[in-house]
Amino acid sequence: MTANLPNLIISPRKRGACLPHKATKHLSALAFTLLLSACSSSKPEINPEEFAGLVTDSFRTDIKSNGLKLFTYRALLSLPKSQTAALPHEVRSNQKKRSRSKKRYQGPDLSGWTAQIEHGLQQTIKMNGYCRDGYIELYRSIQYDRGTIRGECNDGANEADLTKFDS
């Protein structure tokens, strides 16, 4: 059974087209703006001094019997304890105030910390040679003081990998 669907070709010159001419102009401008912003956005630069001595990371390997190579990279940020940190009842009070306000809570900017975690993972894999042909990211969790990335290597394990990364 086939259904007759209306022809939805958008043409500003046709009378009775799906979208009026002005809407088409706005959509074109919006699409151009989105394309331009996507091309101009770049990853934040990593400032090594920003996290110097504050990051502890670990890299765990898992080679399966069929040669599948998996890994888990974890990074922990040791933040100095502030003496001006809010007490639990103050945190709850601030949360209630935020919920009553019209402003939407944006959360902290984690772009620098995320870039640091990604950089740490890349350097670790580069140094230990675990994923020679890159990897596929299976899971990612980034929080203000910790991050975890799990992945699967594109290459399979060979004898040297089994010896070096015995799991």
Q: Are 61 and 68 within 8 A, CB to CB?
A: no
pTM score over 0.75: no
Q: Dump pLDDT digits (tens) for 60-76.
A: 999 999 999 999 999 99
Q: Dump pLDDT digits (tens) for 79-110.
A: 776 645 556 666 666 666 666 666 776 778 89
The ranges of the chain with pLDDT < 70 are 1-51, 81-102, 105, 167
> What span, in angstroms and rounded, lies between the C-alpha atoms of 7 and 25?
20
> What span, in angstroms and rounded, lies between the C-alpha atoms of 127 and 68?
20
Q: Give the end-to-end CA distance of the chain in Å, rounded to a whole number.
A: 56
